[in-house]
Amino acid sequence: MKSKLFRGILLLLAVGAVALAAAISLLDHRKPFPVKTGPGVTEIRHLRDYFGPLAKTRGDTEVFLLAGKQSGGTVLILGGTHPNEPAGHLAAVAIVENAIAEKGRLFVIPRANASGFTASDPQEASPHFFSIDTPSGKRWFRYGSRVTNPMDQWPDPDIYLHHPSGQTLSGNQTRNLNRSFPGRPDGNFTERVAFAITELVKREKVDLVIDLHEASPEYPVINAVVAHERAMPLAVAVVMNLELRGIKIGLEPSPTNLRGLTHRELGDHTEALAVLMETANPAQGRLRGRTTADLIVEGKDKMYVRAKKAGRLFVDFDEGGHPLERERVARHLAGIEEFLKAFQEENPAKPIEIRDFPPFEKIASEGLGPYLR
């Protein structure tokens, strides 16, 4: 009897230890890794400054302002709209930590859906974080969920009714920030985050919005720019310039029959030109093998090599994969750079001049590490 009691106590202690470890891991996941303030940051705001009710919630997040001494155009860069698409988040971080505005203003939100960085997608076995090598050691970043943490918004309805279009979508899209624009002040948690970003665009008279995303290799819109019809002439010039630099990229129109996306709703409901850029992220695809931090960073996957040979993909995939730093982040940075140049050329009265912008060529050859503080 004593032996059974002793084993029972040991079992309870073991269960308690596992529960404690899980609780510590869960709480630790809620703490974001910091974005360092670079020399060009003139002010740090938050989304609560544009919609007060987000204060003290995980919907609130930093808005970094890089303002030049001379007036000009205003651009908003969104990273982390989908936190399991790390190239956009890292490109935004690299800009915040390096770039300096000479003319015009650059608003950068590295974690647009900050809540999504505090969780991971269920049944995906995704790592909670990954690292980038820098000259001073490893720099750690969160690998989050595509959607808002259910602890901030639950339960999902059977059908999500988008506001204001009335379009019906699958219920799980209710926590997808890129299905929630333009948002509404009395909506759900994710809609309120979208509303705050839309308010920023309106109040700051943003001229151009660039939303940074990634897509699975089997998704047809990949390594591409998606542009609202008002932004299409600008996007055409950018795509041509990227091709001249040897960066193969596609161009897609913003669909009118799918609502809630940044490029559609910000293009429709604000004066800004709105575009989105996609790169190839094998860690979020359906055909991948085991999801590891190495897959996130190196972008190599044998299953995708086989899928390419079977004609299942919309992007090339060989043993070299699609590395996060040298390809995906570098592509986003090159695209942003070309958008800033093209906008200034087409709008000389609204110049946007940025120096010390993270260079595509060096990042493509050396990696992102030297440009992370």
Parallel/antiparallel/unpaired status of strands 208-215 and 168-170: unpaired
Residues 322, 215 contacting (CB under 8 angstroms): no
CA angle, residues 237, 71, 372, in degrees to nearest 5: 70
Residues 111, 94 contacting (CB under 8 angstroms): no
Residue of 6 and 53 predicted with greater confidence: 53
| Helix locations, the chain, DSSP H | 2-29, 86-98, 189-203, 232-244, 262-269, 293-298, 302-309, 330-346, 360-366
Half-sphere exposure of 166 (CA within 13 A, CB side): 0
Buried b (16+ CB within 10 A) or exposed e, 299-313: bbbeebbebbeeeeb
Residue 55 DSSP one-character state: T
The confidence score (pLDDT) of residue 39 equals 97
- Residue 340's pLDDT band, with cuts at 50, 70 and 90, is very high
SS3 call for 209: strand
CA dihedral (142, 143, 145, 147) in degrees, to 10, reads: 60
Rounded to a whole number of angstroms, the CA Rg of the chain reads 21
**Measured between alpha carbons, how far is 246 from 250 in angstroms, rounded to an integer?**
13
**Measured between alpha carbons, how far is 111 from 99 in angstroms, rounded to an integer?**
18
The counts of H helices and E strands in the chain are 9, 13
Mean pLDDT for the chain? 94
The confidence score (pLDDT) of residue 25 equals 58
Residues 342, 237 contacting (CB under 8 angstroms): yes
- Residue 7's pLDDT band, with cuts at 50, 70 and 90, is confident
Residue with tokens 């003319």: 103
Is residue 291 scored above 80 in pLDDT?
A: yes
| Token pair for 122 | 């269920």
The confidence score (pLDDT) of residue 125 equals 87
Parallel/antiparallel/unpaired status of strands 100-109 and 70-78: parallel
Residue 367, Ramachandran bin (φ over 0: left; ψ between -120 and 50: alpha; else beta) = left
Burial class (CB in 10 A: 0-12, 13-18, 19+), 108: buried
List the single range of 31-45, 98-112, 253-267 with lowest mean pLDDT. 31-45
Percentage of the chain exceeding pLDDT 90:
90
